[in-house]
Structure 1
Amino acid sequence: KLTENNIKISMTENGDPYENAIAERINGILKYEFLLIDGFINHVQALKAIRESIDIYNQNRPHLSCQMLTPNQTHLQQVIKSKKWKKKTSKVFTSEVNN
Protein backbone atom coordinates (compact mmCIF):
# COMPACT_ATOMS: atom_id res chain seq x y z
CA LYS A 1 0.00 0.00 0.00
CA LEU A 2 2.87 2.39 0.69
CA THR A 3 4.42 1.94 -2.73
CA GLU A 4 0.99 2.31 -4.37
CA ASN A 5 0.88 5.82 -2.88
CA ASN A 6 4.47 6.65 -3.89
CA ILE A 7 5.70 6.47 -0.28
CA LYS A 8 9.28 5.28 0.12
CA ILE A 9 9.76 2.52 2.68
CA SER A 10 12.57 3.40 5.06
CA MET A 11 14.33 0.75 7.14
CA THR A 12 17.66 0.20 8.82
CA GLU A 13 20.38 -1.47 6.82
CA ASN A 14 19.49 -4.97 8.02
CA GLY A 15 15.85 -4.31 8.87
CA ASP A 16 16.73 -4.71 12.57
CA PRO A 17 14.90 -2.22 14.85
CA TYR A 18 17.68 -2.52 17.46
CA GLU A 19 20.01 -0.72 15.03
CA ASN A 20 18.05 2.46 15.69
CA ALA A 21 16.35 1.75 19.02
CA ILE A 22 15.92 5.38 20.09
CA ALA A 23 14.10 6.34 16.88
CA GLU A 24 11.98 3.18 17.13
CA ARG A 25 11.03 4.10 20.70
CA ILE A 26 9.98 7.61 19.67
CA ASN A 27 7.99 6.26 16.72
CA GLY A 28 6.18 3.85 19.06
CA ILE A 29 5.32 6.66 21.48
CA LEU A 30 4.01 8.84 18.67
CA LYS A 31 1.91 5.99 17.26
CA TYR A 32 0.45 4.55 20.46
CA GLU A 33 0.52 7.33 23.09
CA PHE A 34 -0.55 10.05 20.68
CA LEU A 35 -2.73 7.67 18.63
CA LEU A 36 -1.06 8.49 15.33
CA ILE A 37 -1.63 4.89 14.26
CA ASP A 38 -5.39 5.45 13.81
CA GLY A 39 -5.05 6.97 10.35
CA PHE A 40 -6.01 10.31 8.87
CA ILE A 41 -8.48 11.70 6.39
CA ASN A 42 -5.83 13.55 4.40
CA HIS A 43 -2.22 14.74 4.35
CA VAL A 44 -3.06 18.09 5.98
CA GLN A 45 -4.75 16.40 8.96
CA ALA A 46 -1.82 13.97 9.33
CA LEU A 47 0.78 16.73 9.23
CA LYS A 48 -1.13 18.80 11.83
CA ALA A 49 -1.49 15.83 14.21
CA ILE A 50 2.17 14.85 13.85
CA ARG A 51 3.39 18.40 14.49
CA GLU A 52 1.14 18.75 17.58
CA SER A 53 2.32 15.38 18.92
CA ILE A 54 5.99 16.25 18.47
CA ASP A 55 5.45 19.59 20.24
CA ILE A 56 3.75 17.86 23.19
CA TYR A 57 6.48 15.19 23.25
CA ASN A 58 9.25 17.81 23.38
CA GLN A 59 7.57 20.49 25.52
CA ASN A 60 5.18 18.74 27.91
CA ARG A 61 6.12 15.07 28.30
CA PRO A 62 8.72 14.38 31.02
CA HIS A 63 11.22 11.62 30.30
CA LEU A 64 13.03 9.30 32.69
CA SER A 65 16.13 9.61 30.52
CA CYS A 66 16.04 13.39 31.16
CA GLN A 67 15.63 13.11 34.96
CA MET A 68 11.88 13.71 34.51
CA LEU A 69 12.38 16.93 32.57
CA THR A 70 11.03 17.49 29.09
CA PRO A 71 13.46 17.22 26.16
CA ASN A 72 13.23 21.01 25.70
CA GLN A 73 14.07 21.64 29.37
CA THR A 74 16.99 19.25 29.14
CA HIS A 75 18.24 20.84 25.92
CA LEU A 76 18.24 24.29 27.56
CA GLN A 77 20.33 23.15 30.53
CA GLN A 78 24.03 23.98 30.64
CA VAL A 79 24.95 20.85 32.63
CA ILE A 80 26.23 17.54 31.35
CA LYS A 81 23.36 15.13 30.96
CA SER A 82 23.72 11.66 32.42
CA LYS A 83 22.77 8.92 30.01
CA LYS A 84 19.92 6.67 31.25
CA TRP A 85 19.77 4.29 28.32
CA LYS A 86 22.19 1.61 27.27
CA LYS A 87 23.08 -0.21 24.11
CA LYS A 88 21.70 -3.68 23.64
CA THR A 89 24.51 -6.17 23.84
CA SER A 90 24.54 -9.90 23.58
CA LYS A 91 26.65 -12.21 25.69
CA VAL A 92 28.61 -15.06 24.21
CA PHE A 93 29.06 -18.12 26.36
CA THR A 94 31.88 -20.52 25.70
CA SER A 95 32.98 -23.66 27.44
CA GLU A 96 36.62 -23.93 28.32
CA VAL A 97 38.32 -27.29 28.54
CA ASN A 98 40.96 -27.56 31.26
CA ASN A 99 43.87 -29.95 30.71
Structure 2
Amino acid sequence: MRRPLESGQYTAADFAQACDKLGVTRSTGRVGCALDNAAAESFFSTLTHELIRRRRWITRRQARRDIARWITDWYNTRRLHSTLDMTSPTDYEIANTD
Protein backbone atom coordinates (compact mmCIF):
# COMPACT_ATOMS: atom_id res chain seq x y z
CA MET A 1 0.00 0.00 0.00
CA ARG A 2 1.39 3.38 -1.01
CA ARG A 3 1.38 6.12 1.58
CA PRO A 4 0.17 9.51 0.36
CA LEU A 5 2.79 12.23 0.19
CA GLU A 6 2.52 15.22 2.49
CA SER A 7 1.63 18.43 0.65
CA GLY A 8 4.89 19.94 1.94
CA GLN A 9 6.84 17.33 -0.01
CA TYR A 10 5.41 18.68 -3.26
CA THR A 11 6.20 22.28 -2.43
CA ALA A 12 9.65 21.41 -1.06
CA ALA A 13 10.70 19.91 -4.38
CA ASP A 14 9.33 22.90 -6.30
CA PHE A 15 11.06 25.27 -3.90
CA ALA A 16 14.38 23.42 -4.24
CA GLN A 17 14.16 23.54 -8.04
CA ALA A 18 13.33 27.26 -8.01
CA CYS A 19 16.27 27.98 -5.69
CA ASP A 20 18.63 25.94 -7.85
CA LYS A 21 17.44 27.75 -10.98
CA LEU A 22 17.98 31.15 -9.34
CA GLY A 23 21.32 30.21 -7.76
CA VAL A 24 19.96 30.63 -4.22
CA THR A 25 21.60 28.61 -1.45
CA ARG A 26 18.97 27.03 0.76
CA SER A 27 19.20 26.78 4.53
CA THR A 28 21.04 23.76 5.86
CA GLY A 29 18.82 23.50 8.93
CA ARG A 30 16.79 20.39 9.63
CA VAL A 31 13.04 20.37 9.23
CA GLY A 32 11.47 21.44 12.48
CA CYS A 33 14.59 23.16 13.80
CA ALA A 34 13.32 26.07 15.89
CA LEU A 35 16.39 28.20 15.18
CA ASP A 36 16.23 27.80 11.41
CA ASN A 37 13.71 30.61 10.89
CA ALA A 38 14.72 32.76 13.84
CA ALA A 39 16.20 35.58 11.76
CA ALA A 40 13.20 35.74 9.42
CA GLU A 41 10.76 35.64 12.31
CA SER A 42 12.67 38.41 14.07
CA PHE A 43 12.56 40.55 10.92
CA PHE A 44 8.81 40.12 10.44
CA SER A 45 8.15 40.79 14.12
CA THR A 46 10.16 44.01 13.92
CA LEU A 47 8.40 45.04 10.71
CA THR A 48 5.01 44.39 12.28
CA HIS A 49 5.71 46.25 15.52
CA GLU A 50 7.69 49.19 14.13
CA LEU A 51 5.74 49.93 10.95
CA ILE A 52 2.64 47.92 10.13
CA ARG A 53 0.80 48.37 13.45
CA ARG A 54 1.52 52.11 13.40
CA ARG A 55 0.14 52.85 9.93
CA ARG A 56 -2.93 52.40 7.80
CA TRP A 57 -2.79 52.38 4.02
CA ILE A 58 -5.53 52.99 1.52
CA THR A 59 -4.00 50.79 -1.19
CA ARG A 60 -1.67 47.79 -1.28
CA ARG A 61 0.59 49.76 -3.59
CA GLN A 62 1.11 52.40 -0.88
CA ALA A 63 1.79 49.69 1.70
CA ARG A 64 4.34 47.95 -0.54
CA ARG A 65 6.08 51.25 -1.24
CA ASP A 66 6.29 52.21 2.43
CA ILE A 67 7.43 48.76 3.53
CA ALA A 68 10.15 48.70 0.85
CA ARG A 69 11.24 52.18 1.91
CA TRP A 70 11.31 51.14 5.59
CA ILE A 71 13.51 48.15 4.74
CA THR A 72 15.96 50.07 2.56
CA ASP A 73 16.08 53.35 4.50
CA TRP A 74 15.81 52.12 8.10
CA TYR A 75 16.11 48.38 8.65
CA ASN A 76 19.12 47.74 6.38
CA THR A 77 21.02 50.97 6.95
CA ARG A 78 20.44 52.24 10.51
CA ARG A 79 18.90 49.55 12.70
CA LEU A 80 21.50 47.72 14.77
CA HIS A 81 21.32 43.93 14.95
CA SER A 82 22.62 41.85 17.83
CA THR A 83 23.34 38.91 15.52
CA LEU A 84 25.60 41.20 13.43
CA ASP A 85 27.72 42.45 16.34
CA MET A 86 25.48 45.51 16.78
CA THR A 87 25.94 46.81 13.24
CA SER A 88 23.40 47.43 10.50
CA PRO A 89 23.04 44.83 7.72
CA THR A 90 24.51 47.28 5.21
CA ASP A 91 27.55 48.05 7.38
CA TYR A 92 28.02 44.36 8.15
CA GLU A 93 28.03 43.42 4.45
CA ILE A 94 30.47 46.22 3.60
CA ALA A 95 32.83 45.12 6.39
CA ASN A 96 32.64 41.45 5.36
CA THR A 97 32.86 41.72 1.58
CA ASP A 98 35.91 40.07 0.07
TM-score by length of 1: 0.54
Q: CA deviation at 1:78?
A: 3.1
CA contact under 8 A between 1:58 and 1:72: conserved in structure 2?
yes
Q: Return the alpha-carbon distance in structure 1 between the equivalents of residues 48 and 84 of structure 2.
A: 21
Q: CA deviation at 1:75?
A: 0.7
Percent identity (aligned) = 29
- Give CA-to-partner distance per residue, 1:21-49, whole Å, 9 cap, x none: 2211100100102x213442102211111
Aligned to 1:91: none
Unpaired runs of 5+ residues, structure 2, are 1-11, 13-31
Report the RMSD for the aligned CA atoms in angstroms: 2.2
TM-score by length of 2: 0.54
Higher helix share: 2
Q: Return the alpha-carbon distance in structure 2 between the equivalents of residues 45 and 78 of structure 1.
A: 34
Aligned to 1:49: 66
Unpaired runs of 5+ residues, structure 1, are 1-12, 80-99
Higher relative contact order (CA 8 A, sep 6+): 1
CA contact under 8 A between 1:59 and 1:72: conserved in structure 2?
yes
